[in-house]
Structures are given as structure tokens and as C-alpha cells.
A and B are shown apart, each in its own frame.
Chain A
């Protein structure tokens, strides 16, 4: 099945800093989503982005499907951005959403 990798595995930032999280996948995908899991365990949808670029406030994401990667940009980070960021992909041969291992982000005040 498809392999999904995320980097870096852990990231510590000072409040106000910017960061880029990466998701690589090993096969063609139909769908790709970015999620934020907050410290209470709730999964929050950030972006549904099988291709192209989207922005939502301080966050933006870019997926280059032909090169099999996606990037999540966080600007002016806040302590509430702390948690784990997951990308999940769905292949075009029908495999259900497969999650990457996640990037654990800690934003320090």
C-alpha cells in the first residue's frame, strides 16, 4: 500500500516564528488532507487539498501531486498551534485514507 512520511517528526518553536511541515507520499493520490490534533485529542480539519495552494489565515498549504508531496506553512505561530499535525491521503485506486506518522509541534511562549 501507499507509504506516507512526514517531516520533521518533532518541532519546537518560539511564539511568533514560522514553520514548514512536509508530507511525502509514495503513490498517486485522489485526496489529501491536513489535520491538527490538539492536546485534548480532537482532530481539526485544516485543509482539503489534493492539489494546488490554499490559505486560511496564518496557515497555508500546497500540494504538488505530480511530485508526491504537500507542505503546510504556519506563520506567526501561537501557543494554541501546539499539537500534532497529520497529513492523510486517499489513493486513486480506492485505498481509504492513510495517515502519516505526524509532526509534533510545540510552540513556547
Chain B
């Protein structure tokens, strides 16, 4: 199974600042995804990170707020821009194993915005 690591694991940020979360997979994967989990809620897909092209965003999420990079088949970043307290959430990176379609998750990055 793919091992997925995220940095930072947690952070406390000031309103108006931006934070970039890194996601590293230990093997090449076709699809990488970014999810948000607001306090006490389920997971919501933010976007699919495509290697070599722009990310595909879900309804309600825009590139200006959540820019994503995918420079190669093992790495992706998510930036949360111009943060407000409403952005306080766990952000999770996930990857598709490819042929089987099974989804694996990183440990998550817990953001608190003051």
C-alpha cells in the first residue's frame, strides 16, 4: 500500500496569511486528491491534483483560495490563501492506488486560524 506523509501535521495561523501543505507519496500514483474536514463534519473533496495540468476543483472551491501544485507523480501541495477562522479544518491528502481505485490517506494537517 502507498504510504502518504503530510507536512505540517498541525499549525496555528493568523488571519490573512497563507499556508502551504505538502503531501509526499512513497510511490508513483496517478491520482492525488485534497479533502477538507471541518470540525465535527465529514470529508469534502476540494480538488483533484493532476500531474502536468491544472487541478480540477469541486463546486464551492476555487483556485485563488486553494491553489494546488502537482509537479510529479509523487508530490503535491495545497495552499490555503488569505485564511480566516472559517478555514480552521483538517486538510487531508489522498492517493488512488491506480488499477484498483483504492484510496489511501495521509495523516492530515490540522489548521487553526486565529
Contact = CB atoms under 8 A, between A and B. Distances in A.
B105 interface: yes
Q: What class of interface size applies to chain A in its complex with B?
A: 10 to 19
Between A43, A86, A90, the greatest number of chain B beta carbons within 10 A of the residue's beta carbon is seen for A43
Nearest to B48: A96
Q: What class of interface size applies to chain B in its complex with A?
A: 20 to 34
A88 B103 contact: yes
Contacts of B42: 86, 99-102
Given A41-B90, A86-B42, A33 B103 contact: yes
Contact of B104 (A45, A86, A96, A102): A45
Contact of B43 (A45, A48, A90, A99): A99
B86 to A, nearest CB: 19
Nearest to A33: B103
A97 B31 CA distance: 12
B45 interface: yes
Interface of A: 30-31, 33, 35, 41-43, 45, 48, 86, 88, 90, 96-102
> Which 10 A-B residue pairings sit nearest by Cβ, starting from the closest?
A43-B105, A48-B102, A99-B43, A99-B42, A31-B101, A101-B42, A41-B108, A102-B42, A96-B45, A42-B107
